[in-house]
Amino acid sequence: MNELIQTMDRLFPQMVAWRRHLHQHPELSFHEVETAGFIAKEIQQMDIEVRTGVGGYGVLGLLKGGRPGPTVALRADIDALPIQDEKTCEYASKRNGVMHACGHDAHTATLLGVAKACSAHREELNGNLVFLFQPAEEVSPGGAVSMIADGALDGVDAVYGVHLWTPFPVGTAASRPGPMMAAADEFVIDVKGKGGHGGLPHETIDSIVIASHLVVNLQTIVSRTTDPTDACVISVGSFHGGSSFNVIAEKTRITGTVRTFDQKLRSDIKSRIEHIVSHTCAMFGAQYEIDYKWGYPPVVNHAAEAERFFKVGAQVLGKDAIFECPLIMAGEDFSYYLQNRTGCFMFVGAGNQEKNANFSHHHPKFDIDEDAMLNAAHLLIGMALDYMNDTDKC
């Protein structure tokens, strides 16, 4: 273990170089052609079995350990975002309008480093490691579903993943048992009334007035019909209707997002929205259409694996560095792995004002403290080895 960690530490400059190369050459979700090629080439050089084209541009590396034992999968996402990089540093994106603004470049570099360090010590491993380089985390339906459908978890016993996280300071790491990140669903509601003259409302069905009632009525789902101790959000993010001051709008469209942590509440809210829309529209004699798009399910950590995080995290980063994070309303398709296998998702602090790593994720000036990659690598290795060496797994 100690020698493996020393090997890992010596690879840090290479991890930085990998990360900066990827940062300069970002690719959007479902278009990670070069990124996948880059990963496959590096993994091959480590003498690790490679599978490319896994559920799209996914890359899977299989490292067989020298001794028998379980198989642990470690996952990194590899896609970038449609954002113009506004940083001025030497490794800023070279591609107009595309940027690694969520740190997936660093996730990829970290996992490459972990793979290389572990490959140098394969004889000592009590089991196997699977490295999952997953495309398209940022855009639903995401790359996790298709990778799993393509066999990414075949033979895997447990799965771990990290997200570098600038809201938490570098040097720290956090997770929690049970729900951690939200399900993120989307709705589009079209209210169809009857257009007409602004001075003759009695001859029309005013879609703007009806949609306004909808916005207000939707607020009552969280405030009046949901258990106040259950975290959830319904936000209407856009409202479009009409084109002239003296014309009553025939059609108004509202769109919004629903965030929940519980599958039952999640489907209850969908029904509740349909109920409110149908009855409100009926009240005014309007027609409607609802397009409800299921996003990623909530990220739910397995209790025993979160427990392992608190133990291993304290060992590799120090007791004071580890904390239980609050619920996070953002979504992540790591949820699908946890629906299929035992495991845990973890945040690794990457924020540092002195290194301009103090912008939120998806911000045009987003950057990380690269030291966080080494912490993430230590944590991933620690979790994998602890699982492999654990004789009484829960």
Q: Torsion over CA of 277, 282, 287 and 288, rounded to 10 degrees? A: 10
Across the strands, what pairs with 374?
A: none
CB of 137 to Mn ion, least distance (A): 6
Binding mask 317-346 for Mn ion (x = CB under 5 A): ------------------------------
Q: How far apart are CA 256 and CA 259, in angstroms?
A: 10
Between 133 and 288, name the residue whose CB sits nearer to Mn ion.
133
Question: How many CA atoms, within 13 angstroms, populate the side-chain half-sphere of residue 326?
Answer: 6
CB of 134 to Mn ion, least distance (A): 11
* Separation of first and last alpha carbons in the chain: 23
- Which residue in the shown chain puts its C-beta closest to Mn ion? 102
Q: 239: phi > 0 → left, psi -120 to 50 → alpha, else beta; which?
A: beta
Binding mask 248-287 for Mn ion (x = CB under 5 A): ----------------------------------------
Between 187 and 366, name the residue whose CB sits nearer to Mn ion.
366
**3-state SS record for 177-208:** CEEEECEEEEEEEEEECECEECCCHHHCECHH
159 lies in the site for Mn ion, by CB under 5 A: no
CB of 361 to Mn ion, least distance (A): 6
CB of 287 to Mn ion, least distance (A): 39
- Asked whether the beta carbons of 92 and 84 are under 8 A apart, the reply is no
250 is catalytic: no
Q: What is the DSSP letter of 94?
A: S
Between 214 and 299, name the residue whose CB sits nearer to Mn ion.
299
Q: How far apart are CA 98 and CA 285, in angstroms?
A: 46
Q: Count residues binding Mn ion (CB under 5 A).
A: 1
32, 77, 105, 137: the catalytic one is 137
Residues 6+ apart with CB under 8 A from 96: 84
- Exposure class string for 205-222: b at 16+ Cβ within 10 A, else e: bbbbbbbbebeeebeebb
Q: Name which of residues 96 to 115 contact Mn ion (CB under 5 A).
A: 102
Q: How far apart are CA 194 and CA 342, in angstroms?
A: 53
Binding mask 53-92 for Mn ion (x = CB under 5 A): ----------------------------------------
137 is catalytic: yes
- Asked whether the beta carbons of 300 and 337 are under 8 A apart, the reply is no
Between 16 and 81, name the residue whose CB sits nearer to Mn ion.
81
Piece of 29-37, 86-94, 95-103, 342-350 that binds Mn ion (CB under 5 A): 95-103
27, 32, 42, 79: the catalytic one is 79
CB of 362 to Mn ion, least distance (A): 8
Catalytic positions: 79, 137
Residues engaged in binding Mn ion (CB under 5 A): 102
